[in-house]
Amino acid sequence: MPAGIRPSDINAQTWIRGAFATEDMNRAATWVVRFCQARGGNDWRSFSLAEIDQFHSERTGGRLFDFGGLSVGGLVEGGGKGFVPTAEFIQRCHRASPA
pTM of the predicted model over 0.85: yes
**Residue of 96, 90, 73, 98 lying closest to 3 (CA atoms):** 90
**Residue of 2, 22, 25 lying closest to 10 (CA atoms):** 2
Task: List the domain boundaries for the chain.
Answer: 2-96
For residue 49, CA distances in Å to 5, 17, 21, 58 come to 23, 23, 23, 14
Quickly state the pLDDT bin for 9 (edges 50, 70, 90): very high
Quickly state the pLDDT bin for 13 (edges 50, 70, 90): very high
Q: Report which secondary-structure segment, H or E, holds 79.
A: strand 76-79
